[in-house]
A and B are shown apart, each in its own frame.
Chain A
């Protein structure tokens, strides 16, 4: 069967690509669009390393088909920093050493940003439950929670 021709907005840019029916959005991002910041840890929606925003909603891109994003807006880790300026969440991850190996970090930042857009002043518990869909095996989550909290403070200050 011929490939599907899909048009979508990715990180604010109009993009078009061809994909097989079974290709996931993650396959398209990584293999076709070369946006390898979203990571594949499990392909079953359990690790959150492939977290992206689809029309402003947090999703695991391994659970979305490439064809499904036709006409929609996809935002990935590559679009989080604006030009030279890191997003406060990215800055706080660096300052608090909230990453060790860094493979889960893009997913945590995309998910954390989604949380702070919804809830600018989350409690520790709210942060922990919101991020429960993202696995980190290195940090024990302590410094990640601290970084998200501190980023919330920075964002509230504006």
Chain B
């Protein structure tokens, strides 16, 4: 293993070493500027009035008293946003529709969830803005609401959108409902598969909505000049996406909007959409002053996207020797107030870890009176794979097979055709299972009330449009510019690739994240794509520099192209040319750039293809306290295929962080609603994310099965680690207690209730 925190190469290059991140010093000294750290002279403070009702028609909004309050400079409502036609566009791995986006950022006909934005003000101080919100008079006609996904699907449930007709069913419904769409994938013949099965297990599972839980609340600072030129600083996973959304919602030319992504304090998918950004621009345009807006934590919980809660039914069949012969699943995902839950990836991933001939998965996208869901790390996949991994464990138990051996017997591998379409290239599931099997952890005995569980996970990963540049400075140092926000070590990974490609020291490369005016379009940081696609764009940019330097050397040396080569940071003469020409380094060329053709740089503009899926296997030991129902995680090991870890420490960090988010999802986190349709735990005290004392060290095993479509073999790694924990922990709970838990979170009251019910049943 490479030593931590060294900026030297391992002899072959920097890639694969544990360099110190170039943005690190600013982040340990408090100097790094995140969303809420930006200010402009003369700025106003913007605040949002939010609906207290989960479902209400907005009859009238009277802002006159608020506008009359001294210090109030602008008030906006639905009247400040033109309506949008219905058009679905990609957002991360999910889809969105501008007709819904304009209604989510500012309620129009109805408020659809508690916390839905209804109006916003900009004032000279936060206190005045708060006072102004109280002076806005909204007349609501309160409507019946529906929170639960199954209830929302029932005939007679309160309907959120009277123009929402289920897509994907025949005949086309003539009445609106809360079911936005039904999707399905099929492979083989599911009935024939079940006919071959010696054992069939069918179970229903329920998961609660959970929030991404980034520590930095949403923040935006906008300034609009009289000619419509707009500047925006905001915390986002994709400033080009923010630019596109804001331009569309506010009727601006994209070229007039410049967005700078601030340092981002966590996102996990939740910062792939817009909330405050268009409001800040609209307020600034009206007030003719800069406007700063920051969400409170309560607003983050009530008004920004959690991920779906869901109900999932899984039915799997296997032969007695352990071959999976049929897999059926029906997924019902909450979308929140507008359609667009991650049910599609949930459907795709459900059985993707396994080589199966017969698969049938159905998904429903269902709206209810909750905040619109946003992507959350491998959106949709943890839910469906939790259900499948739980049933796989039950099959192992029923057949008396080792759960790792059973998975190995059925593991997807190179050549497997996935139910959702593709034929896999080289993938590393078997390697992760084998490396888990070899750990000391797997072979350590357990005590009473302790349990061990294993589960695997699959995520497909994406590539996409990416621009990045390398500029050779006058002294031979290199400026690297990327256009995807660095959310966890991207700058370090890209700088290492640039240093290796150009053969220069790592600390001579200075990476920055450019604003939307600095580079061509970049899709967002999401889908585990930023290091994968960004490094491909950097390789392309470096290739251009090397070609340019070789061409310049040919001119200087009066040589032919085949007489020069770029090697180890310099253009070198080949053969007899060596007698009259000396190698020239990048710094040598930099000195004479003006005389040899001008500035030197490379610009990678690619649509990255060939993102290889990343598969992982997690192993967990836990202990159940029979007195309280509390579950303690004792030991945890992650093995995942990274393809090639550009920076092993930050790849391990993805594994560890994803595992702990999954632990929170499995054991504690949930949105708790009252009968009144209001969220009861909109704060970190009651929405209980794991803290340091809740978890052990997370052992990380890096498996590297190279992705042949990437120059370094990289696969995206960020999302897969949140998938296996849910199933692994449920399986460990069964191992510890003999009880199969099918509902998340497995929080102490639920565990205690299950233990007591079993005790009572035993007495009868």
Contacts and interface: CB of A to CB of B under 8 A. Distances in A.
Given A20-B127, A101-B487, A137 B689 contact: yes
Interface in B19-41: 20-21, 23-25, 27-34, 36-37
A128 B693 contact: yes
A73 interface: no
A141 B27 contact: no
A144 to B, nearest CB: 7
B368 interface: no
Contacts of B488: 100-101, 138
Contacts of B683: 42, 44, 46
A61 interface: no
Interface string B1-14: 00011000000000
Interface string A21-53: 010000000100001111111111011010000
B28 A93 contact: yes
Interface in A93-127: 93-97, 99-106, 109, 124-125, 127
B31 A135 contact: no
B5 A96 contact: yes
A137 B215 contact: yes
A48 to B, nearest CB: 9
B610 interface: no
A77 interface: yes
Name the interface size band of chain B.
35 or more
A49 B215 CA distance: 8
A154 interface: no
B693 A132 contact: yes
B215 A37 contact: no
B30 A97 contact: no
Contacts of A102: 23, 27-28, 32, 263, 265
Given A76-B30, A141-B692, A44 B20 contact: no
Contacts of A125: 693
A134 B684 CA distance: 11
A134 B692 CA distance: 8
Counting chain A CB atoms within 10 Å of each CB, which of B217, B265, B489 scores highest? B265
Given A20-B127, A103-B265, A145 B692 contact: yes
A22 B215 CA distance: 24
Contacts of B266: 100-101, 103, 137-138
B703 to A, nearest CB: 18
A143 B18 CA distance: 13
Contact of A86 (B28, B296, B650): B28
A146 B736 CA distance: 30
B697 interface: yes
Given A97-B653, A137-B661, A138-B657, A44 B297 contact: yes
B296 A139 contact: no
Interface string A48-64: 01000000000000000
A100 B487 CA distance: 7
Of the candidates B36, B215, B659, the one having the most CB atoms from chain A within 10 angstroms of its own CB is B215
B268 interface: yes
Contacts of A43: 296-297
A134 to B, nearest CB: 7
A101 B692 contact: no
Contact of B216 (A90, A99, A101): A101
**Of A46, A80, A96, A131, most B-chain CB atoms within 10 Å:** A46
B656 interface: yes
Contacts of A47: 215, 297, 684
Nearest to B125: A20
Contact of B649 (A36, A97, A109): A97
B5 A131 contact: no
Interface centre among A49, A76, A100, A143 (most CB of B within 10 A): A100
> Looking at B36, B267, B487, which has the most chain A CB atoms within 10 Å of its CB?
B36
Given A76-B30, A145-B697, A46 B685 contact: yes
Interface string B232-264: 000000000000000000000000000000011
Interface in B209-230: 212-217
Given A137-B215, A141-B692, A97 B489 contact: yes
Contacts of A93: 24, 28
B660 interface: yes
Contacts of A105: 27-28
Interface string B632-658: 000000000000000101101110111
B698 interface: yes
B29 A39 contact: no
B691 interface: yes
A67 interface: no
B197 interface: no
A111 B266 CA distance: 20
A81 interface: yes
Interface string B65-82: 000000000000000000
Given A132-B691, A140-B695, A39 B653 contact: no
Given A41-B297, A43-B296, A138-B657, A97 B213 contact: no
A152 to B, nearest CB: 15
Given A86-B25, A101-B216, A42 B684 contact: yes
Nearest to A102: B27
A41 B4 CA distance: 30
Contact of A37 (B30, B216, B296, B660): B30
Interface in B127-186: 127
A39 B649 contact: no
Contacts of B267: 101
Contact of B30 (A42, A46, A106, A135): A106
Contacts of B698: 140, 142
Nearest to B26: A102
Contacts of B25: 86, 90, 94
A22 B4 CA distance: 45
A102 B29 CA distance: 10
A96 B4 contact: yes
B683 to A, nearest CB: 6
A137 B691 contact: no
Nearest to B213: A137
A132 B4 contact: no
A57 to B, nearest CB: 19
A153 to B, nearest CB: 13
B5 A44 contact: no
Given A41-B297, A90-B28, A142-B698, A103 B692 contact: no
A101 B461 CA distance: 21
Nearest to B24: A94
Given A95-B5, A101-B265, A138-B657, A37 B29 contact: yes
Given A36-B37, A140-B656, A81 B487 contact: no
Contacts of A100: 266, 487-489, 650, 653-654, 657
Closest 5 CB pairs of A and B: A37-B30, A95-B5, A103-B265, A102-B27, A140-B660
23 contacts: A30-B36, A39-B215, A39-B265, A40-B217, A41-B297, A44-B685, A46-B684, A47-B297, A49-B215, A94-B5, A94-B28, A100-B650, A100-B653, A101-B263, A103-B263, A128-B692, A134-B691, A134-B692, A135-B215, A135-B691, A138-B653, A142-B652, A143-B649
Given A44-B297, A96-B649, 13 more contacts: A42-B683, A47-B215, A97-B652, A100-B266, A100-B657, A102-B263, A105-B28, A125-B693, A131-B692, A138-B266, A139-B657, A142-B656, A142-B698
Interface of A: 20, 22, 30, 35-44, 46-47, 49, 76-78, 80-81, 86, 90, 93-97, 99-106, 109, 124-125, 127-129, 131-145
